[in-house]
Amino acid sequence: MQRQRAWAIGLRRMIDRCLRPGGVRRRRARTRRAKPVPVAAVERLEDRLLLTITIVFDYSRDANGFFSDQARRDLLETAGVMLGNRLQDQLLEIDQSRFPGAVSWAATFTNPSTGASDSVPGLVVPEDTLIVYVGARQLGSTLAIGGPGGWTATGNQAWFDRVDARGQSGELQMPPSDFGPWGGQLSFDIDANWYFGATTNGLDPGETDFLSVAVHELGHLLGVGTAGSWDRWVSGGFFTGPNSVAEYDGVGNVPLSPDLAHWANGTTDGGQEAAMDPSLTSGTRKLFTDLDWAALKDIGWEVSDNTTYTITLANGSSHTVVIRDDSVPGNGISEVVIDGGMPTSFAVPTTTLIVQGGDMADTIKVLSLDASFGGVLQIEGNGGDDAVDTSALDVTASLSGGSGRDTLASGAADDTLIGNAGDDVLRGGAGSDRLFGGAGDDVLTGDVGADTLNGQGGGDALIETLGGNVVLTDTQLKAADIDIVVSVESATIAGDAGAQTLDARGFSGPVALDGKGGDDTLRGGDAADTLVGGDGADRLVGNGGDDSVDGGAGNDSLFGGAGDDTLGGGTGADQFNGQGGSDLVVLGGDADFVITSGSAVGVDSETLQWVERVMVTAGSGDNTLDAASFPGEVTLIGGGGDDTLNGGPGADQLVGNSGNDSLVGSGGADRLFGGAGTDTMTAGDGDDTVNGQGGTDEIRESADADFSLSDNALSGRGNDVLSGIERAMIEGGASANQISAVGFSGDVTVLGGNGDDTLTGGSGDDRIDGGDGADSLVGEAGRDTLIGGGGDDVLKGRDGADELYGESGNDTMNGGAGDDRLFGGLGDDGASGWTGHDLLAGNAGDDTLVGGMGNDSLYGGARNDIALGEDGDDLVNGQGGVRDTLAGGPGNDTLVADPGEIDEAFSFTAPWVGDV
């Protein structure tokens, strides 16, 4: 193989020959050992997230535009990462503005585009950073020139040592044993036939691989052939550094080229030509070998073995970390972005990439890694509630949380996830994963592959989505693969669109099974399970425990098993069999429903067996939900329309919701809730709870019983508790009933029935109708209407402007306070207006009318009436009866009658209707 173009030695010797101006120091001139650095100049290094040296390329001297193409810059950056990534020295910063005392300095180097001397006064070099000025010019037969820069400085000894060694004390010894440059320069031949590919695909004979040359020249910048600590190991044409001698494939010391700055031409290590020999064959690539790295160790660099690369996050705050490939496939480089900062490139290690989280809540996401990575990705969340996601990868990952509530997600390889303390979420990907929850209530998902799912301590849950038939036991999850299950207390398994059997009869904890599409068979275990059939004609069996079973769409068969189960059919004509326990069937839709002991007819026609309870929810229309013939308990829920809800003999719950609804409870201790709208509610027998909620709501009850109504209670058919009721209607029966609404502030209608009833209104505007029988009616406060009906009734208006109608029978009426209207009707009636401006009309019969206080109007009507105006300016009109007796009483009265009927001296000899 023909070799072309000798490498040129770097700049060290040329820099050593730089003239020294007066009053300054030059880089390599040493006459004594370094003095101790003053305390004021000591700087504490912060903890580093990345234990690497960053090589920063400065293109400001690229006057010929060699690096105007971004692809060339990217490849040069790759070379810098390849070398800097394995260097773990801690180089102090050079910043004259931050150093104690009056100090200054200038970085000196050869301009890479002109070859002339150049300098940058006051250059700021951050810690752990090398600054390299790059460019290109015509170099003739030389491919590139590279090496460390020089410096001039003024100030004190501590400052000189800082600029010279950057904290590497070995460089200050004689001979030097370490190296701490600020950076340097690289100059490339502008006329060479360069190949700028990231991989060797496309590298043709006759082309010079740019990456190989860049790596070689960076080796010189790092001290190979240029550092004093290199020279200390050069003896008789050989390099005697112990690390290099131990690594060398040959016997003894490593032979050098004649310039003593390279390995001898053709030197190999492990069968690969060393990067730091003096020649490169065109059409080939060579990078650093272990021998080249050993030389850097002998120079004084702390070189990692590249088997492991660690990213450590600082404590005290949360971090967001994104790791991804650098978009150049196969170049061995990836990059990390921490907290949204600039990407930092690193060479992927051969064995383990480690990310150590801090003590706060960190988010660590690995999107991709360079294709050359074949090791293990190890991420430790440590403290805080961490989120770690490697699901996009197909590399082996070991993920562990810490003391917080962590979320770990891995990719397609055989991964290990460890939650440790806290309530963690662990999600594997494809591959045979091992998940360990640790302490806490954890959630484990293995995904496809033969996984191990171990919840360890706490109440742990398994969640899987699987195709095909699935069998779950306490020790195994069998589907396409067989998972080992340990210490898992609950499980959720979802199927796919096909016909499946999901069988959890061997699992002792609660399980949730979802068949999704297809004609599925789902079998629960002995705990409280949740079964959802989804689309298709499904068969669902809850078995033991209080289960929730939902058939979904399709004509399903639902079996509750032992326990108090909840069965929901969804759409389709379903069969419900509660089997053991007290079971509930849940139905609904915008339709009328009729519920009986054996069927539920509404949107579909359902079959009921061994069902003790039913819940039906109406739709947006005006629906009737009728469960009067269902022997168990029902819950009827109205929708958006004016609904009618009829309960049955059980302890039912009726909820009207919006709309003007009618709720009828029937027997049992029912609970009625009107909702919004003007609702009418009948609780029925039993001790019920009635809440009108929004709107103007009315309670209605009827029975041959005594009733007592207040704002908060109604007794009669039971002892009911009321709230939010604004109106009431109470109706008695054939017996002598006592109905009282004294404690009710709304408007009430009281109907007496056929017996001799005692009916009392409340403080609202009431209507009281005695019906047949000798009734006693009392209006109490408000503008009441009292109707005696058949029989000899007693009517008392009490407070308010009341209307009293005696109707048939010999009735006694007392208006009470207020401007009342009293009408006798048939029979010999007695009416007293009492206080207020009253109107009294006897109508038929021999009536007795007493106006009382106020300006009253009295009309006797037919037959022989007695009309006494009493106090006030009264109108007394006998109305042409056979023989009326009229008296105005005190005041300016108007009497209309025959003269013989007027008797102003008339008075009652005993208390009469006024005292009723």
| Per-residue model confidence as pLDDT tens digits over 600-624 | 999 999 999 999 999 999 999 999 9
The amino acid present at 432, given as its one-letter code, is S
Domain termination site, one of 489, 510, 528: 489
Does 452 fall in a domain? yes
Q: What is the mean pLDDT of the segment spanning 88-116?
A: 97
Does 189 fall in a domain? yes
Q: Quote the DSSP letter at residue 94.
A: B
Whole-angstrom distance, CA of residue 216 vs CA of residue 141:
16
| Interacting residues of 459 by C-beta distance below 8 A, sequence separation 6+ | 441, 489, 490
The DSSP line for 491-547 is EEEE--SS--EEEEEE--S-EEEE--SSS-EEE--SS--EEE--SSS-EEE--SSS-
Whole-angstrom distance, CA of residue 626 vs CA of residue 904:
67
Same domain, 793 and 776: yes
pLDDT (0 to 100) of residue 904 = 60
pLDDT of 862 strictly over 80: no
Cα separations in angstroms, 180 against 229, 231, 349, 492, 743: 10, 15, 25, 60, 98
Q: Quote the DSSP letter at residue 50.
A: B
Same domain, 282 and 321: no
Does 561 fall in a domain? no
Same domain, 831 and 886: yes
Same domain, 292 and 337: no
Same domain, 312 and 401: yes
| Interacting residues of 107 by C-beta distance below 8 A, sequence separation 6+ | 119, 120, 123, 125, 131, 149, 150, 151, 182, 183
Does 175 fall in a domain? yes
Whole-angstrom distance, CA of residue 749 vs CA of residue 534:
52
- Tell me if residue 158 falls in helix, strand or coil: helix
Does 722 fall in a domain? no
Cα separations in angstroms, 524 against 231, 539, 548, 607: 79, 11, 10, 22
702 strand-pairing partners? 731
Does 134 fall in a domain? yes
Handedness of CA 559, 565, 571, 573 (dihedral sign): positive
pLDDT (0 to 100) of residue 903 = 65
Q: Quote the DSSP letter at residue 35.
A: P
Which residue reads 């078995």 in tokens? 543
pLDDT (0 to 100) of residue 881 = 59
Same domain, 794 and 849: yes
Cα separations in angstroms, 481 against 17, 425, 509, 639, 825: 73, 22, 22, 47, 93
CB distance 494 to 503 below 8 Å: no
Does 773 fall in a domain? yes
Alpha helix (H) ranges present in 54-200? 70-84, 157-165
Comparison of pLDDT for 49 and 700, the residue scoring more: 700
Alpha helix (H) ranges present in 339-412? none
Same domain, 418 and 474: yes
Cα separations in angstroms, 653 against 36, 303, 641, 666, 896: 89, 78, 18, 11, 63
pLDDT (0 to 100) of residue 701 = 95
pLDDT bin (cut points 50, 70, 90) of residue 23 is very low
Q: Furthest-apart CA pair in the chain: how many Å?
A: 167
pLDDT (0 to 100) of residue 281 = 95
Whole-angstrom distance, CA of residue 753 vs CA of residue 774:
11
- pLDDT tens string 401-423: 999 999 999 999 999 999 999 99
**Structural domain count of the chain:** 3
- Highest mean pLDDT of the ranges 19-28, 48-57, 341-350, 591-600: 591-600
pLDDT of 359 strictly over 70: yes
Domain termination site, one of 466, 489, 512: 489
pLDDT (0 to 100) of residue 236 = 96
Same domain, 295 and 170: yes
Same domain, 64 and 93: yes
Which two three-digit tokens encode residue 530?
């949740």
320 strand-pairing partners? 363
**Model pTM greater than 0.85?**
no
Same domain, 290 and 315: no
Q: What backbone torsions phi and psi does residue 691 show, to the nearest 5 degrees?
A: -130, 110
Question: For all residues of the chain together, what is the average pLDDT?
Answer: 90
Same domain, 240 and 100: yes
Which residue reads 């209307």 in tokens? 803
- pLDDT tens string 635-690: 999 999 999 999 999 999 999 999 999 999 988 999 999 999 999 999 999 999 99
Does 551 fall in a domain? no
CB distance 466 to 493 below 8 Å: yes
Q: Which range marks the domain in which residue 859 is found?
A: 733-915
- pLDDT tens string 573-589: 999 999 999 999 999 99
- pLDDT tens string 209-268: 999 999 999 999 999 999 999 999 999 999 999 999 999 988 899 999 999 999 999 999
Which two three-digit tokens encode residue 747?
């408007």
Cα separations in angstroms, 515 against 460, 531, 538, 558, 565: 22, 8, 8, 13, 19
Comparison of pLDDT for 251 and 2, the residue scoring more: 251
Domain termination site, one of 489, 509, 530: 489
Same domain, 770 and 751: yes
Q: What backbone torsions phi and psi does residue 894 show, to the nearest 5 degrees?
A: -120, 120
- Tell me if residue 913 falls in helix, strand or coil: helix
